[in-house]
Amino acid sequence: MKRIVQIFDAQHFTPEALAFSADIVRHTGATLIGLFVQDTSFINDPGMNIIAGQFYVEEIVLTAEEKQKIQDATDASVAAFMQGCAQHNINGNAIVKQGIPAEILKAESRYCDMMIVSPLLCFDGEQAVPTVFIYNLLAAAECPVLLSPEQFQRIDEVIFAFDGSKSASFAIRQFAYMLPSFCAAKVIVINISEEGGKDTSIAAHHPSFTQWMELHCPNYRQITLVGNARDVLFNYFMENDNNNKLLVAGSFGRSAVSRFFKPGTTELVLKTADVPVFIVHN
């Protein structure tokens, strides 16, 4: 990888998010681009109001003082990011873009190797985890997305969620190609079988995948769990120590593995386990 883009609300930089990204970047030698987004959607899409039965458009105009306040916060965020990159000894650049965040990030995702973003990111004060903004970003992104944890954790263990589907296999391959050094460490494949049987091993049902794993992740081990992907993954992360784990899952909104990402389940896992999640479309 050469270009990793980390997304920030221009007025709210978080050093913990940079610490996590710096650890990822050190494994790749890539340049970390801090993309600081100034949301102007509330200006571009003014609200409709009604008085005495008559509709009117309320035009939103920022005062010079308000504009300067936004710019000062943005400048402080960019300065903190660049200083943090120097402290973490990684290559970093910062860019600032104004506009509608969803449109900016969709366009940016076309020309980067991976995006890193907090599941808490939003531009309207929403408190859900992940936010609606993140759900929409995951559905629209044209590159792999890595959801970062709230607190920085060194990644010591990678969890591959595997159900034999095209999207799960694609996500695992992409992760191995993009972050091969993590595959040399501890890797666990959670083999999800919706129906139990005499032999639910990956080798019995997916021998080619087993051969591929032995080449790319020679020290991996398999855990077979029976049930639907959403419940299996949720229970696994609730019942195990999740320190320093990273989950690799299939494409958002399409595969059986992706059913893990439903409202409620994701909120509980991200709030309770606080694990980074690697997601990619095929």
CATH assignment of the domain containing 84? 3.40.50.620
CA 164 – CA 206 distance, rounded (Å): 7
Kindly state whether residues 32 and 98 are assigned to the same domain. yes
Residue 43 in this model has a pLDDT that exceeds 80: no
pLDDT (mean) for 20-33 = 94
The SS3 of residue 215 is helix
Domain membership of residue 194 (yes or no) is yes
CA 32 – CA 236 distance, rounded (Å): 32
- Which of 13-17, 41-45, 137-141 is predicted least confidently? 41-45
Most confident of 6-10, 40-44, 240-244, 272-276: 6-10
Kindly state whether residues 168 and 266 are assigned to the same domain. yes
Domain membership of residue 111 (yes or no) is yes
- Count of domains forming the chain: 2
DSSP 145-199: EEEPPSS-----EEEEEE-S-HHHHHHHHHHHHH-HHHHTSEEEEEEEESS--S-
Q: Are 137 and 123 in contact (CB under 8 A)?
A: no
| Cβ-Cβ contacts under 8 Å for 35 (sequence gap 6 or more) | 5, 6, 7, 8, 94, 95, 97, 104, 105, 108
Domain membership of residue 152 (yes or no) is no
Domain membership of residue 51 (yes or no) is no
Confidence at residue 234, expressed as pLDDT on a 0 to 100 scale: 78
Kindly state whether residues 16 and 143 are assigned to the same domain. yes
Final residue of a structural domain among 147, 174, 204 = 147
CA 259 – CA 257 distance, rounded (Å): 5
Q: Count Cα neighbours of 17 within 13 Å in the Cβ-side half-sphere.
A: 24
**Per-residue confidence at 204, pLDDT binned at 50, 70, 90?**
low
Look up the domain containing 71 and give its range. 3-39+67-147
Confidence at residue 168, expressed as pLDDT on a 0 to 100 scale: 85
Domain membership of residue 50 (yes or no) is no
Kindly state whether residues 171 and 117 are assigned to the same domain. no
Kindly state whether residues 35 and 134 are assigned to the same domain. yes
- The predicted-structure confidence for 223-260, as pLDDT tens digits, reads as follows 888 887 777 777 888 787 777 889 998 765 544 455 55
Kindly state whether residues 137 and 257 are assigned to the same domain. no
Percentage above 90 pLDDT, the chain: 45
**Per-residue confidence at 165, pLDDT binned at 50, 70, 90?**
confident
CA 246 – CA 20 distance, rounded (Å): 12
Kindly state whether residues 221 and 99 are assigned to the same domain. no
**Per-residue confidence at 37, pLDDT binned at 50, 70, 90?**
very high
CA 179 – CA 181 distance, rounded (Å): 6
Residue 183 in this model has a pLDDT that exceeds 70: yes
The SS3 of residue 244 is coil
AA identity, residue 59: E
CA 95 – CA 37 distance, rounded (Å): 9
Kindly state whether residues 9 and 137 are assigned to the same domain. yes
More confident call, 99 vs 135: 99
Whole-model pTM: value is 0.86
Final residue of a structural domain among 147, 180, 202 = 147
Kindly state whether residues 85 and 197 are assigned to the same domain. no
| Cβ-Cβ contacts under 8 Å for 224 (sequence gap 6 or more) | 191, 193, 200, 201, 202
Kindly state whether residues 8 and 130 are assigned to the same domain. yes
Confidence at residue 254, expressed as pLDDT on a 0 to 100 scale: 45
AA identity, residue 202: I
Confidence at residue 41, expressed as pLDDT on a 0 to 100 scale: 74
More confident call, 56 vs 178: 178
Length of the chain: 282
Cα R_g (the chain), whole angstroms: 21
Confidence at residue 267, expressed as pLDDT on a 0 to 100 scale: 58
The mean of the pLDDT values for the chain is 83
- How many separate helices (H) and strands (E) can be counted in the chain? 11, 12
Confidence at residue 201, expressed as pLDDT on a 0 to 100 scale: 67
Kindly state whether residues 274 and 194 are assigned to the same domain. yes
Confidence at residue 206, expressed as pLDDT on a 0 to 100 scale: 80
CA 85 – CA 59 distance, rounded (Å): 40
Domain membership of residue 53 (yes or no) is no
- Which of 7-11, 216-220, 257-261 is predicted least confidently? 257-261
Domain membership of residue 59 (yes or no) is no
Q: Is 185 exposed, middle or buried (0-12, 13-18, 19+ CB in 10 A)?
A: middle
Domain membership of residue 44 (yes or no) is no
First to last CA, the chain: 18
Final residue of a structural domain among 126, 147, 168 = 147
Residue 56 in this model has a pLDDT that exceeds 50: no
Confidence at residue 225, expressed as pLDDT on a 0 to 100 scale: 84
Residue 108 in this model has a pLDDT that exceeds 90: yes
Kindly state whether residues 242 and 108 are assigned to the same domain. no
Q: Is 191 exposed, middle or buried (0-12, 13-18, 19+ CB in 10 A)?
A: buried
List the alpha helices (DSSP H) in 34-100.
41-44, 64-87
Confidence at residue 200, expressed as pLDDT on a 0 to 100 scale: 63
- Of 17, 59, 55, residue with least CA distance to 34: 17
